[in-house]
Each structure stands twice: as C-alpha cells, then as structure tokens.
Structure 1
Amino acid sequence: AAVVAVSDERGHARLVGYVVPAAGAGRPVPAALRQALSLTLPRHLVPAAFVVLDALPLTVSGKLDRRALPAPDPDAAAGEREFTAPRTEAERELAGIWSAVLGVAHVGVDDNFFELGGDSILGIQTVSRARAAGLHVTSRDVFRHQTVAELAAAADRRAAPPVTTAPQREAGPGPLAPIQEWFLATHGPLRHFTMSMLLDLPPETDPDALERALRALTAHHPALRTRFARE
C-alpha cells in the first residue's frame, strides 16, 4: 500500500490510498478500509479515496514511482454504494452543493461527505454555499450530520438566526480539531505558547472602533476563546 497527497483539477489536495490486494484476497472495499484505518488514525490522516492496483509502479531503482500512480476516479465509488435520489428541496440543494464542492457527478441522500472525499476545508465551502442558498448550517453540523439527508434535516429544524448587534457567545466543552490533536500530541502540554504579529495602522484608524470590532470578533468565534484543560 502507498498513500500520496494528490491535487485535483481545482488544486485541492487530498490523501489517496493505493492498495495492492494479497493473492486470493479479493478486491478490498474502500468503506471497509476507511473504517479499519479510522480505528488507529485521526480523521485527517485517513485517505479520502482509494485506488486498487494489480501492482505499485516502481522506478528503475525499485522505489515507488509516484508520478505513475493513476489519479482517483471521483465517481468510481458510485457503483459500490446504493444511490437514493434527493426527495426534498433542501436535499436537492445540498446534493448539488456536494456535487460541485467534491467533484462527484451523482450524490445520493445517504452518501457520506467524508467518504466522498470531503474534509474540513471543503466543509467550510459547503457551509458557505448552503447559507447562500438559504440553508442555515454550521461547520460543526457537517461533522455531526455526515449525509445529505441528515444535514438537510438539521437545516430544516434550525431557523435562521435573528440579526442582532449583540454577539452571541457560545460556551461549553467541544471536541478538538484534528490540527489541535496533532499539536498537543506532538508538542505535549505547554505552559506558554505565543504567536505574535505587528501591524501598521493608517493614522485615521479609530482605536475605539477597532477595539469594538476585535471584541465582537472574539465573541463571535469560539475558536478565538478556546482554553485547553488536562484531564
């Protein structure tokens, strides 16, 4: 097996697993491979797509020839899953958005966003397009409701948030993002960690307005108020 970061025609990179089955083992099912790998790997290290080969291409020196690896077919998995067409307007809208964002021709209501090659960056694009279409969903919803049917139901249950000048502060525990898990696992607990940036502001900048804007920004985005507690 080999795993390579492959960029699609839109320049978006994703992990692709190339697998050569053992003699007599039969053709591996991508969903089964993904489920097995998820037991030991964080989500962002599980390949988004799998390509089954008779043999891995090698260079004259016997090393893996990465340039000779075929690009994954975004619709290859379509025949391996049962297709259920969208039934509601919200499902049809989301299926179209997933198709455009993921580069998959046909998306059914039971298809899994991450099994189709989605990741956190594409999830943000999905949320942005969904909101533009009038469906109020969040990035957290994409992780919690990973099929078109589940995400459409979540969007239908939630009314659009009222427009208010007072920022709504979210509080409470939340799961670590993959990059946070990696950082803490790699560098361990730290007493202090600082990243700083120096900005030159134009003379006409209103310091009071700037301070209000920054406070509103941190109040609106929970990630800017995150604290980590060891257990």
Structure 2
Amino acid sequence: MTTTLNLWKHKLGVLPESLWQRTELQVLILADNELKHISPQIRRLRHLHTLDLGHNELASVPDGLTELPLTEYLYLHDNQLKELPPSLGRLSGLRYLNVGENHLTSLPETTAAMTGLVELRAQCNHLAALPGTIGRLRNLRELWLRGNALRCLPESVADLAELRHLDLRENALAEFPEPLAGLPLLRHLDLRSNHLSSLPDWLAGLPSLEKLDLRWNNIEPETGLIDLLRQRGCVVLT
C-alpha cells in the first residue's frame, strides 16, 4: 500500500471526496491545482507528515489541518492567505514551514510554539514585524524573510542560537539589527536592498560568519571592518 500521493499540477479545481478515505497517506502533494478550498475532512489523514498546498488559491488555512500529525513539511506558499490561524502553534513537531508569497501582514504569536521548526520561510509578504516571542524557536537554522516591510527585529532573535542562514533582503532596515550580535552559528547573512548606511563593530565578533551580502544599500564599500571580515575568510559583497 503506497503512503504517498502526488497530484502536482493536475489542475483539479476541486478535490474528490474519495481522497479523504486514503487514511494511510503520509505524504500528500496538491500543489498547483487551482484549489480555493480544502474540505475539513482532511483531518482524517491521521498519518500525514508532509503536506504541499503551494501554488493554489487558498484564502484561508483549511479547517482541520492543525489536527494533523505534520512533522516534516507544510507548504502553503503562493496562495491568497491574509492571516494564519493561532492554532498553527499546535504543530509543535513540524520541521519545515513555508508561508511565502502570500498577503500576510503578521505571523501569529503562537508561531513560537512550533519549537520543532528547523526552517521557516515567510518571504514576499507584508510583514512589518515578527512575533516578539520568535526566539523560542530554539531549533531554527534557516529564516527567510525577503521582500517584507521589516524595520527592526525583536530582541528575542538573539535567542536563536542554532540560526545559520538569515535572509533579510528587500526590507526597510535602516540599522543593523542588534539582536544578531549574539548568534554564534550565523554563517550567511543577506541584507541586500535595505536602507543601511553604516556597519556595527560587533559584526567582527560573529565567529561563524562566512558570507555577508550588503549590496544595494548606502554603505561605504571600503571600510576597515569589511577588510577585517575578508581577511578572516568571510565573503563580503558590496
């Protein structure tokens, strides 16, 4: 008995009711099907650990989705979502969440309860701020926030001790986010296309930094700090 069903790009429009009888499914791929609605019957898929609903026309997260035992991947990118339900925090074992390319203006505070997250993608939305409790995501290694309206980061970002990759390009940052100073494992920091004009001295104290992208800001391209970073092997793009 197969536990994977891949219906990618079938242009279904509407899902057959018989789908919810496939209670053995562990992986369900419904991407790119012009779907506007998912039946609450999805809650019957009690073994589902991976769900791909990307590239559809969903205006809300399906009822019953947060009752699923999702532990691997949840793709909701490229839909018409304007908000995420607080119940999303029930997915405490989920490792990968992609809500990029929607119309989100905020993430629920309960996102902080998703402590299993290793990667969070929320790029190309309208986020002006992150939840103040986001630092509780202690397992987070990658955070993708390109194309939002962020002017600062909450202080709790300093608690993301496992963070390796942070993408902040195309936001509204006028100053380097101070909470980044305490991230010992941060390797790749992308700050392209913000409003930065200077570099903080603490950048030199990030022990794991391997790549820093500063292009399309207002920073003087040749500074002593940039030279210092390059001398120790960090790739700095200006």
| Alignment TM-score, normalising by the size of structure 2 | 0.29
| Alignment TM-score, normalising by the size of structure 1 | 0.30
Indicate the structure with greater strand content.
Answer: 2
Indicate the structure with greater helix content.
Answer: 1
Which of structures 1 and 2 has the larger relative contact order (alpha carbons within 8 angstroms, sep 6+)?
1
